[in-house]
Amino acid sequence: MTSIQYKKCRMRAAFTMMEIMVVVFIIGLLAAMVGPRIMKQLFKGQTTTTQSTISALKNAITEFKMDTGRFPTQREGLKAIIENPGNIKGWDGPYLEGQDEAPQDAWQYDFIFNRPATVYKSKYKTYEIISYGSEEGESTPKDKWLHGGA
């Protein structure tokens, strides 16, 4: 191979700046179209996971009540379904299998346990479990909170 043939082969193997810019533009366009949908599905998955955890907590609290004849107090909180906070008569837990501490929501925040209900007191008379969602704090609008109770 002569040096002229080698230079022609080498020049054909490279991309021009224009070709690289077109590819980057197409990738950016695809990311702009697909990105929000992926984030929406991710948030939907976190919401579903948190709602499932709230349901599991409600079932565990119901089992606690069936065994002890009462709901956990505000002071005992959700920890009462994991470990016996004292000598509670009839306690036969833990009521959540495989847990050594109260679970967190999908955003890694602790659930809020209120007994009696204080935020949704018109809906839940006995207790409520609240997750603030992706933003921890009472500044999050109530319609974005995930909640359950009895």
- Domains in the chain, CATH or no CATH each: 3-149 (3.30.700.10)
List of E strands, the chain: 112-114, 128-131, 146-149
> What confidence score (pLDDT) does residue 62 get?
94
> What confidence score (pLDDT) does residue 8 get?
56
pLDDT above 70 covers what percent of the chain? Answer: 82
Lowest mean pLDDT among 26-35, 65-74, 129-138: 129-138
Instruction: Kindly report, residue by residue over 97-118, the tens digit of the pLDDT.
Output: 888 888 999 888 999 999 999 8
Would you place residue 18 in the very low, low, confident or very high pLDDT band (cuts 50, 70, 90)? confident
**Contact (Cβ atoms closer than 8 angstroms) between residue 120 and residue 148:** no
pTM of the predicted structure, to 2 decimals = 0.70
pLDDT at 80 over 80: yes
* CA-wise closest residue to 105 among 75, 83, 130: 130
**Contact (Cβ atoms closer than 8 angstroms) between residue 84 and residue 93:** yes
> What confidence score (pLDDT) does residue 13 get?
65
CB atoms < 10 A from the CB of 56, how many? 16
